[in-house]
Structure 1
Amino acid sequence: MTTPTLLLVGCGKMGGALMRGWVSSPNPPRLFILDRKIQDAPAGSTVFRTPEEITDDVQPDIIVLAVKPAGAEPMLKALRNVLGSRMDKAALLSVMAGKSCEKLAEWCGRADMPIIRTMPNTPSSVGAGSTGLYASPHVSKAQKELAIRLMEQVGAVVPVPHEEDLRSVIAIAGSAPAYVFLLAELLEKTGQELGLEKKAARTLVRSMIYGVGKMLHELPDEAETLRKNVTSPNGTTAAALNVFMAEENWPRLVPLAAEAAIKRSRELDD
Structure 2
Amino acid sequence: MSAPAHHLPSSLILIGAGKMGGAMLEGWLAEGMPPKGVAIIDPRPSEEMIRLCADRGIALNPQRPEKPEVLVLAVKPQMLDEAAKELDALVGPQTLIVSILAGKTIGDLRKRLPASRAVVRAMPNLPASIGRGATGAAASEGVSEPQRLVADSLLKSVGIVEWLPSEDLIDAVTAVSGSGPAYVFHLVECLAEAGIAAGLPEDLAQRLARATVTGAGELLFQSDLSPETLRQNVTSPGGTTAAGLQVLMANPGGLKALMRETVAAAKKRAEELAG
**TM-score with structure 1 length normalisation?**
0.85
* Whole-angstrom CA distance in 2 between matches of 1:16 and 1:189: 35
What code does the residue aligned with 1:19 have? L
CA contact (8 A) 1:6 1:29 kept: no
Determine helix, strand or coil for the equivalent of 2:230: helix
Relative distance call for 1:203 and 1:46 in structure 2 (3 A) is farther
1:92 Cα deviation (Å)?
0.9
Residue equivalent to 1:93 = 98
Residue equivalent to 2:21 = 15
Match for 1:163 among 164, 167, 190? 167
Q: Percent identity?
A: 37
CA contact (8 A) 2:9 2:150 kept: no
Determine helix, strand or coil for the equivalent of 2:122: strand
Match for 2:45 among 18, 38, 46? 38
1:226 Cα deviation (Å)?
1.2
Determine helix, strand or coil for the equivalent of 1:88: coil
* Whole-angstrom CA distance in 2 between matches of 1:115 and 1:206: 39
Residue 64 (1) aligns with residue 72 (2): yes
| Aligned pairs, number | 259
- Unpaired runs of 5+ residues, structure 2, are 1-5
Residue 79 (1) aligns with residue 87 (2): yes
Match for 1:267 among 248, 264, 272? 272
- For each residue in 1:73-112, what CA deviation from the matched residue of structure 2 results, as whole angstroms up to 9, or x when unmatched? 222222224x3xx5333211111222221221111113x6
* Whole-angstrom CA distance in 1 between matches of 2:9 and 2:256: 46
CA contact (8 A) 1:91 1:143 kept: yes
Residue 253 (1) aligns with residue 258 (2): yes
Residue equivalent to 1:227 = 231
* Whole-angstrom CA distance in 1 between matches of 2:12 and 2:192: 40
Residue equivalent to 2:3 = none
- Unpaired runs of 5+ residues, structure 1, are 49-53
CA contact (8 A) 1:69 1:268 kept: no
CA contact (8 A) 2:23 2:158 kept: no
Residue equivalent to 1:124 = 128
Determine helix, strand or coil for the equivalent of 2:167: coil
* More deviation, 119-128/38-47: 38-47
* Whole-angstrom CA distance in 2 between matches of 1:235 and 1:208: 18
Residue equivalent to 1:51 = none
Please report the RMSD computed on the Cα atoms of aligned residues, expressed in angstroms. 2.3
Determine helix, strand or coil for the equivalent of 2:103: coil
Relative distance call for 1:149 and 1:165 in structure 2 (3 A) is same
1:3 Cα deviation (Å)?
5.3
What code does the residue aligned with 1:36 have? P
CA contact (8 A) 1:17 1:122 kept: no
- Within a 5 Å distance, the mapping from 1:177-256 to structure 2 comes to 177-192=181-196, 194-196=199-201, 198=203, 200-246=204-250, 247-256=252-261
